[in-house]
Amino acid sequence: MHDLPPATVPQHVAIIMDGNRRWAAKRSLPRALGHASGARRVRQVVEACSARGVRYLTLFAFSTENWQRPADEVSSLMGLLVHYLQKEISNMHASGVCLKVVGDLSRFDQRLQNLMATGQALTAHNTKITLTIAANYGGRWDMMQAVQAWQAAHPDKTVASMDEAALRPHLSMAHAPDPELLIRTGGESRISNFMLWQMAYTELFFTDTLWPDFSTSVLDEALQWFSARDRRFGASGSRLAC
């Protein structure tokens, strides 16, 4: 583990877990096995982030666009979500993980929705790390639902009176600060509709490592890289200040 000064460890790390199918294809294995191997990486990453002092970890598990995949692949991904939650909830609880699930959950079958609700209720008061799983999530969906939720909460107002601070509590990531670091595995340099609002000033770390091969050494590489960033937020920044 790299010894980073606590001040340089991001509070919130987001990960786009990409590359499962390419990992399977390289080994002539079925796609479902790539996804299953990917799911097995999650526990170690949660523990490693927790041990390094990361307070919020958000994982992109299934996008609003992923429904366009073949039906058998979607159903194996749903099966894995069920399996992961059934297997991990008690372990998460014992490790002080607070579980949140964000996305349009209404499209999932009732058993999966119940598991998500049970897991969130059981772990709601844990404080070691907040693990947010984004499932049937899209950044555009989130902004739309937030505007609609704001309007429902303020039926007497028009959107002309809404500002960023008023919208924020209605966004599905309202429980977390914006991520300082995004890691995307799998070699693509894009955001694919993840946390569009929240990533306005996030540092973006892209690695060719396929998600099932992700390890704590890649995490440490990303944290080390992050610690050297000069985050300016549009202002002068520490290196250019005069």
Let me know if 114 is a catalytic residue.
Answer: no
Tokens 């209404």, residue located = 106
- Shortest approach of Mg ion to residue 16 CB, angstroms? 8
Told to check if 19 binds ligand IPE by CB under 6 A, we report yes
Of the residues 66, 104, 178, 213, only one is catalytic, namely: 66
Considering the rule CB under 6 A, would residue 135 count as an interface residue with ligand IPE? Answer: no
Task: Kindly tell me which of 18 and 142 has the beta carbon lying closer to Mg ion.
Answer: 18
Residue nearest Mg ion, CB atom distance: 18
Indicate the burial class of 166 (C-beta count within 10 angstroms; 0-12, 13-18, 19 or more). Answer: middle
Q: What is the largest CA-CA distance in the chain?
A: 59
Q: Is 66 a catalytic residue?
A: yes
Q: Which one of the spans 10-18, 94-102, 147-155, 213-221 is the region binding ligand IPE (CB under 6 A)?
A: 10-18
Binding-site partner at residue 20 among Mg ion, ligand IPE, none, CB < 5 to 8 Å by type: ligand IPE
- Applying CB under 5 A, among 10, 18, 24, 146 the residue interacting with Mg ion is 18
Q: Any idea what the Cα angle at residue 79 is, between residues 120 and 84, rounded to 5°?
A: 45
- Between residue 78 and residue 107, which ones bind ligand IPE under the rule CB under 6 A? none
Q: Counting contacts by CB under 5 A, is residue 210 touching Mg ion?
A: no
Cα–Cα distance, 102 to 168 (Å, whole number): 15
Tell me which of 9, 54, 60, 89 binds ligand IPE, using CB under 6 A.
60
Phi-psi region of 96 (alpha: psi -120 to 50; beta: other; left: phi over 0): left
Residue 178 DSSP code: P
The closest of 15, 13, 19, 175 to 101, measured between CA atoms, is: 175
Distance from C-alpha of 225 to C-alpha of 223, rounded to nearest angstrom: 5
For ligand IPE, the binding residues in 138-197 under the rule CB under 6 A are 186, 188, 190, 192
| Distance in Å, CB of 8 to ligand IPE, minimum | 27
Q: Residue 204's beta-bridge partner residues?
A: 182
H or E segment and range at residue 114 = helix 110-123
What residues act catalytically? 18, 66
**Binding-site ranges for ligand IPE (CB under 6 A):** 16-22, 60-63, 66, 77, 186, 188, 190, 192
